[in-house]
Amino acid sequence: MTLKILITGASGLLGSKIVELNKDRYEIIPTHSTQPFHPNSVKMDIIVGENVLQVFNKFRPNVVIHTAAETNVDRCESYKNEAWKVNVEGTRNIAEACKNANAKLIFISTDYIFNGEKGLYNEEDKPNPINYYGLTKLKGEEIVRAHCEDYIIARPSVLYGWHLKKTNYVTWVINSLKQGKRIDVVEDHYNSPTLADNLAEAVLRTIETDANGTYHIAGSERINRCDFALKIAEAFKLDKTLINSIKMEDLKVWIAKRPKDSSLSVDKAQKELKVGLLNVKEGLVKMKKRENSEKCHL
Ligand SMILES: NC(=O)c1ccc[n+]([C@@H]2O[C@H](COP(=O)([O-])OP(=O)(O)OC[C@H]3O[C@@H](n4cnc5c(N)ncnc54)[C@H](OP(=O)(O)O)[C@@H]3O)[C@@H](O)[C@H]2O)c1
């Protein structure tokens, strides 16, 4: 029997990579809430419970990969009701539908559920979010555990990769340096940058290995934003002197607090899923190789 995999947020950075990777292997049902990104995408607003049920009743998926979220950390802080609706109530609608349909649920969470005081967090460490985005994603995790027996909670960190319409940290650095713009980047903010294509492969491994539970699925290297920008410049042969290192307290554009060091230990995922999680250089090299094949990207 061919698995039927429904993907929420299929138009997003991670969702689009998951669709691309799986479309020839499984029956894929990409979904969107605003504009369709894939030719056969189905409209499903996760906030609307009835809409979710209709789509589940029609397609009867065996596996659901739930990537849809309000991912803008500052918008979550400023528009708390909207963030709660999408990240908490939307996740509840998906979890309930999975329970009723007996479908495996793969929920994409985040490193921002941690407070960032320790770094290199493992799956046993206690979450303690310091911003509203992290809080809503943690509530999402609790809902998934409460509703579903067969689930994966995958926690990545700082996603990057090519996307036709959306920018991310890496594409922002590349575009700015290409245009000769000076950029301020923080030297005291650490995470585990994750190539979206690599995360998509690892998510697929959780299905193939029939894994269950919580996994940190991120890049294998802890790095600060400034060193990350320098490595981006190196990989894409851009002008490093445009990169200006500053402290988080001097960056005035953030509305929400950021954890200082939310880097993740990926030992469990590497061992149990037998998946190669890339370090920063490996991820950037892979991205560079795809620069010309993924046209019109940002
Ligand atoms: N980006 C990061 O650095 C990062 C880091 C750690 C964890 N994560 C987690 O990884 C996952 C994927 O992130 P991403 O960066 O790939 O996301 P993204 O590019 O921001 O895409 C998010 C998607 O969510 C969909 N969405 C928003 N509201 C919706 C609603 N009411 N109903 C249905 N769909 C809705 C959007 O679809 P439409 O365009 O159709 O509205 C959008 O395509 C998220 O769960 C995020 O929390 C991200």
Cα distances from 112 to residues 46, 241, 257, in angstroms, run 22, 30, 10
Domain count across the chain: 1
pLDDT at residue 295 greater than cutoff 80: no
The two three-digit tokens of residue 28, written as one number? 């894929």
Residue 247 is assigned to a structural domain of this protein = no
273 phi/psi in degrees, rounded to 5: -95, -10
**CA–centroid distance for 188 within its chain:** 22
Residues in the chain: 298
Residue 105, domain extent: 4-164+194-222+264-279
Cα(264) to centroid(ligand 1), Å: 20
pLDDT at 296: 46
Residue 227 is assigned to a structural domain of this protein = no
pLDDT at 114: 98
Calculate mean pLDDT across residues 89-109. 98
> Is the whole-model pTM more than 0.95?
yes
Alpha helices in 163-241 (DSSP H): 169-178, 196-208, 225-235
pLDDT at residue 98 greater than cutoff 80: yes
Nearest CA to ligand 1 atom 17: 12
Calculate mean pLDDT across residues 232-247. 97
pLDDT at residue 298 greater than cutoff 70: no
**CA–centroid distance for 19 within its chain:** 14
Q: Which residues are paired to 195 by β-bridges?
A: 160
pLDDT at 294: 66
Cα(37) to centroid(ligand 1), Å: 13
Phi-psi region of 119 (alpha: psi -120 to 50; beta: other; left: phi over 0): left
CATH number of the domain residue 37 falls in: 3.40.50.720
136 phi/psi in degrees, rounded to 5: -65, -35
Q: What is the pLDDT of residues 33-88, one digit of tens each?
A: 998 889 899 999 999 999 999 999 999 999 999 999 999 999 999 999 999 999 99
Are the C-beta atoms of residues 61 and 5 closer than 8 Å to each other?
A: yes
Residue 143 is assigned to a structural domain of this protein = yes
pLDDT at residue 189 greater than cutoff 70: yes
> Which of 7, 14, 105 has the most ligand 1 atoms within 8 A of CB, as the residue to mutate?
14
Element (H, E) at 159: strand 159-160
Residue 245 is assigned to a structural domain of this protein = no
Nearest CA to ligand 1 atom 1: 159
